[in-house]
Amino acid sequence: MTTITDLSQLDLTKTYSYADYLTWRFDDMVELIKGKIVQMTPAPNVRHQSISGNLHGFLFAHFRHQKCRLFAAPFDVRLYDRKKSLVANQDIYTVVQPDLCVICNPELLDKKGCNGAPDWIIEILSRGNSKKEMETKYALYQEAGVSEYWIVYPELRAIHQFVLDEQECYQLKKMYAEDGFAVPHLFPDLKVDLIDVFEQCDDDD
């Protein structure tokens, strides 16, 4: 088997599995969406990283001594339809790297990352990935059974909160503004101060 050391060696029209993904030895950051390679946008800008860092610091302090664990990108999350049984790496065709995710089931964690749907995923939009986050990942996370999904809009200083309903479809539970508190549906005792989340990101591009 040829060792893949450069993204240019791959056929971007071909369908690949997680087993293929594990053999790649290049520095490019990619995700695997339904077997198709998706190149991640260039390194996140200062605004994106400021928000990510603020959220990470706040959530890390909350979950530090709890069963649920917080992880930040780069961190591989393998997803598949929750109605199907996992057989092997070659049966997985989606590997994503959410900005932040919370996992409460320790059995999903292994040395390579998360094998299954996290309980809560947070994605912070960038100018180059809005469509992917809003459409593709929305559908993926719903199909995989991610119970709660937050989309953070840096320029609007807002968060949209989606929660799976009884029919296992996302419903927009609430839209949070910059000067309020965002409360996870799964963790009602956690109140995220959005003033702190969006601190020092006003002039970052």
pLDDT, position 205: 52
Token couple for 142: 């719903």
pLDDT value of position 199 = 86
Instruction: Delineate the domains of the chain, giving CATH numbers in brackets.
Output: 7-39 (no CATH), 46-197 (3.90.1570.10)
Of the pLDDT bands very low, low, confident and very high (cuts 50, 70, 90), residue 202 is: low
**pTM of the complete model beyond 0.95:** no
In 69-175, which residue ranges form alpha helices assigned H by DSSP? 130-131, 138-144
pLDDT tens profile 155-183: 999 999 999 999 999 999 999 988 889 99
Q: Which pair of tokens denotes residue 1? A: 């088997």
CA dihedral 195, 198, 201, 203 (to 10 degrees): -60
pLDDT tens sequence across 24-68: 999 888 999 999 998 887 767 889 999 999 999 999 999 999 999
pLDDT at 179: 83
Q: How far apart are CA 75 and CA 65, in angstroms?
A: 21
**What's the pLDDT score for residue 50?**
94
Alpha helix stretches (DSSP H) within 95-193: 130-131, 138-144
120-124 vs 148-153, strand pairing mode = parallel
pLDDT in tens, 87-137: 567 789 999 999 999 999 999 999 999 999 999 999 999 876 667 667 899
Report pLDDT for 86.
55
| Residue that wins the pLDDT comparison between 145 and 133 | 145
Give the per-residue pLDDT at 59: 97
Mean pLDDT on 141-147: 95
Residue 85: pLDDT over 70: no
